[in-house]
Amino acid sequence: MSLIPTASQTVGPYLHLGLTPITIADIAKDAGKGEKIVISGRVLDGEGQPIPDALLEFWQANADGKYAHPDDTQDKPLEGKFIGFGRVPTDKDGRFSFTTIKPGAVPGPGNSLQAPHIVVCLFMRGMLKHLYTRIYFSDEQAANANDPVLGLIEDAARRPTLIAERQNDKAEYRWDIVMQGENETVFFDC
């Protein structure tokens, strides 16, 4: 049997009514180990205007590089409460912020290792289907250079759009999402 997957439709302008009752902006408190970090930034449209009606969901491994999911069969520990999922809306200035722990490296295709990263699923009014992108970390240069997914981005000049910039010595990263234009964020067809 082969059914057609149900088509996506926009979250529309009233997404908060349905999606923010479950808001998860801090998952560091559920982690037993790992560096606590804050990632914040803005979501901007094709004219550089902030997008106040967007929502980010994020998904990541724990500090050991293990996902809390049965398909991750690695022999690595899971922490009791740590799921690795969060959800935050943007505010009236298009800003978002969330607190987590820096994930460990996870396996990639073949024998490769993926650099520490967070998968982001983006929703907004004006978008008929969600988009996937990824957050990598500026202080993981060597791992990023060998990352098999960053390597899929043919135009190397676009890779930095996925790299969150660590702010000096603080465990705070800055990462913006730009929908269009010269600095358009890399989105994945997956």
Partner 1 sequence: MTNVVGYKRPRAGTQPNYLHPPYQSSIKRAPRKPLVLLPHTLSEVTGPLFGHDLIGQNDNDLTKQHAGEPIGERIIVSGRVLDEDGRPVPRTLIELWQANSTGRYRHALDQHDAPLDPNFTGYGRTVTDAEGRYRFVTIKPGAYPWRNHHNAWRPPHIHFSLFGPSFMTRLVTQMYFPGDPLLPFDPIFNCVTDQRARDSMISSFDLDTTIPEFALGYRWDIVLRGRNATPFEE
Chain positions 8 to 37 lying near Fe ion, rule: CB under 5 A, are: 12
Site string for partner 1, 4-43 (x = CB under 8 A): xxxxxxxxxxxxxxxx-xx---------------------
SS3 string, 38-99, reads EEEEEEECCCCCECCCEEEEEECCCCCCCCCCCCCCCCCCCCCCCCCEEEEECCCCCEEEEE
From 132, 138, 160, 174, residue interacting with partner 1 (rule: CB under 8 A): 132
Q: Which does 168 bind (CB under 5 to 8 A by kind): Fe ion, partner 1, none?
A: none
CA-to-CA distance for 54 and 164, rounded, in angstroms? 19
CA distances (Å), origin 151, targets 59, 142, 147: 21, 13, 6
From 82, 90, 85, 178, select the one nearest 133 (Cα to Cα).
178
| 83 belongs to the binding site for partner 1 (CB under 8 A) | yes
Q: Is 137 in a helix, a strand, or coil?
A: strand
Q: Using CB atoms, what's the residue nearest to Fe ion?
A: 12
The minimum distance between CB 9 and Fe ion, in angstroms, equals 9
Binding to partner 1, residues 86-125 (CB under 8 A): 106-111, 114, 117, 119, 121, 123-125
| First-last CA distance in the chain | 23
From 34, 41, 84, 104, residue interacting with partner 1 (rule: CB under 8 A): 84
Question: Measured from the CB atom, is 37 or 61 closer to partner 1?
Answer: 61
Number of residues that bind partner 1 (CB under 8 A): 77
